[in-house]
Amino acid sequence: MTWTPTLFDEPTTRATVSVDVGPRSAWLTGYGLNGYLDELDCPRMWCPVRKRLTIPVDRVGDLLALLEHRDHRVVELRSVAEA
């Protein structure tokens, strides 16, 4: 049996999360990410240049495990050259 999203799922359970990973930071876009970061006790800040949520790159694995494995969220992971 595989998991498939239904029409009546909450937006947090079916929304795609985008993660751009740089040399030191990762930039996040998605619905409900502050709750996940609170649960992981992960430091974060708002990037004024990219206008996205920013976390340290060494905490991306924790976030991906939580989003993909436990909550079955779709995650788009991209590597970027610029910091």
Tell which residue, 70, 77, 62, has the closest CA to residue 30.
Answer: 77
33 has pLDDT over 70:
yes
User: Does residue 25 belong to any structural domain of this protein?
Assistant: yes
How many CA within 13 A on the CB side of residue 50?
19
Mean pLDDT computed over every residue of the chain = 85
| CATH assignment of the domain containing 29 | 3.40.1170
- Cβ 25 vs Cβ 83: under 8 Å: yes
User: Does residue 35 belong to any structural domain of this protein?
Assistant: yes
Give residue-wise pLDDT tens across range 49-74.
999 999 999 999 999 999 988 888 88
User: Does residue 22 belong to any structural domain of this protein?
Assistant: yes
User: Does residue 61 belong to any structural domain of this protein?
Assistant: yes
User: Does residue 83 belong to any structural domain of this protein?
Assistant: no
- Cβ 55 vs Cβ 25: under 8 Å: yes
Number of domains in the chain: 1
Tell me how far CA of residue 78 lies from CA of 1, 9, 36, 38, 53, in angstroms: 29, 26, 20, 23, 15
Domain with 36 in it? 16-75
User: Does residue 63 belong to any structural domain of this protein?
Assistant: yes
